[in-house]
Structure 1
């Protein structure tokens, strides 16, 4: 009887050796929490498989300041992300997204690497990372690292640019500053333990109370989070006030009409998008009042 095999590398070199093996096998899965793998195996009826568990690599469980970026190991859990002071300061939207993933038990096991590598259309951390301008760092079977924008790494539903002999090892986000603010909001089917029906993340740069830069994304509308270009452009050089909020709510509904004109969920999401835009708007307002 064929048995399942579980590998647990502790160093980059050990991982590189296993990636050489993975290149030749299609039954060898990379895991970092395995909360999604269990569902995949059950759905596909897979009986025999092997895993490479990244959670035994200490260096992939750290959040560190490096030069002008914050480096997040692929095996960092949602709980650690949510509670990290570094992430709260430099990537507040990501801390918020991590804190809204599933239940407490799931957040204690689920990792940012797994959430991103699986590329579910409702993955909350992907939307936040897009808004923050994150990059993905990959390691291949030759021990070579490559880095690319996360927005390019995620191709669509369940699809990424990862190669058969590569592992996602780090996520990097730019360091923040006192003029940069970010936020995240979502709506789902159940409170706390919920899969997003719609999520929203922003990163804004202010001069006084006027927006000088804006990155705005909405998830669970298409195969990957969509960039709200019209809404971004509308914010530039405008004051962050109630008058702007009313305009953003209208633009949000129009975005839904354009993105999913024939989908049955369009009517619900025309209303839901106003909720997440309002949440994010008020959160940014609160953050700025504290400052």
Structure 2
């Protein structure tokens, strides 16, 4: 018999009140696609669920003072379809578009994906490459902003206290000289959990030379991480066919460093060529053009 109590705050004031009463048997629900599985897996039949999805204040995507800001309960469908995300953070739009099925993307939220902290979480990898920060509120109404790398700390582990909830994701808007891409490897072409994923963000000058690189890899350890191996290999390179070879070689080196000796090592080492190819062609084909559409969506 289940003794789960569900709280459904409708505004931030009520959320803070519910958080002030949180304990070790309190669980936050952003969309539920991960939480329901986790409750069943660990046979959790009692406690309190705080459902954030009814808080309209947390459902937005907007541009503000040089930042893109996404409310914690924005769904993957909303993120993947939003023109300004496609323009300024294509890697995040692609990561959101490739999460699960259409039904899952219509329900699952970005805040929930971060809080669940799965090593293969596609949007976490993209947000790592975008230098994203996470806005958190606690049961006293205090708001903190933390780098995503400090919030996601391990496999299904986050650094949030029981009275803390993710309320916003924010990252800097880049100009037209920046390009980004995302790719994943799974056991099927659709509705698949990543066996490996990668997001890359590049600043390219007028001579097509890479001035700055931010590369993140997921499902190659307990959490997504920035790959210095890839970043150093691509920095200063020209965006040409030779870049694809450099990316493939760097990814192979990173796989060797990260999981040498593990059962998945041979498979992932062979498969990174496909990831590199998809990333490379996405960078070449992505069109950064786009209008200055409305700055918010509710």
Structure 2 unaligned blocks of 5 or more: 291-298
Q: Write the distance in 2 (CA, Å) between the matches of 1:85 and 1:288.
A: 12
- Offset of 1:288 from its aligned partner? 6.0
- Offset of 1:244 from its aligned partner? 2.0
**Counterpart secondary structure, 1:252:** helix
Q: Write the distance in 1 (CA, Å) between the matches of 2:147 and 2:46.
A: 34
Matches of residues 93-104 of structure 1 in structure 2 within 5 Å?
Answer: 93-104=91-102
**Corresponding position of 2:295:** none
Matched, 1:276 2:250: no
**Counterpart secondary structure, 2:63:** strand
Which of 122, 128, 131 is matched with 1:130 structurally? 128
Change (3 A) 1:142 1:249: same
**Corresponding position of 1:114:** 112
Matched, 1:16 2:16: yes
**Corresponding position of 2:266:** 267
Matched, 1:207 2:205: yes
Q: Write the distance in 1 (CA, Å) between the matches of 2:83 and 2:166.
A: 24
**Corresponding position of 1:181:** 179
**Counterpart secondary structure, 2:189:** coil
**Corresponding position of 1:81:** 79
Bigger RCO of structures 1 and 2 (CA < 8 A, at least 6 apart)? 2
- Offset of 1:48 from its aligned partner? 2.0
Higher helix proportion: 1
**Counterpart secondary structure, 2:262:** coil
- What's the CA shift string for 1:7-52, capped at 9, x where partnerless? 1111111111000011xx2222110111111111111112223211
Alignment RMSD, CA only?
Answer: 1.5
Q: Write the distance in 2 (CA, Å) between the matches of 1:163 and 1:225.
A: 21
- What's the CA shift string for 1:83-114, capped at 9, x where partnerless? 01121112110110001111111111110001
Q: Is the 8 A contact 1:89 1:176 kept in 2?
A: no
How many residues align? The count is: 289
**Counterpart secondary structure, 1:55:** coil
Q: Write the distance in 2 (CA, Å) between the matches of 1:250 and 1:5.
A: 52
Matched, 1:243 2:242: yes
Change (3 A) 1:274 1:216: same
Q: Write the distance in 2 (CA, Å) between the matches of 1:223 and 1:139.
A: 26
TM-score normalised to structure 1 length? 0.96
- Offset of 1:155 from its aligned partner? 0.8
Q: Is the 8 A contact 2:210 2:238 kept in 1?
A: yes
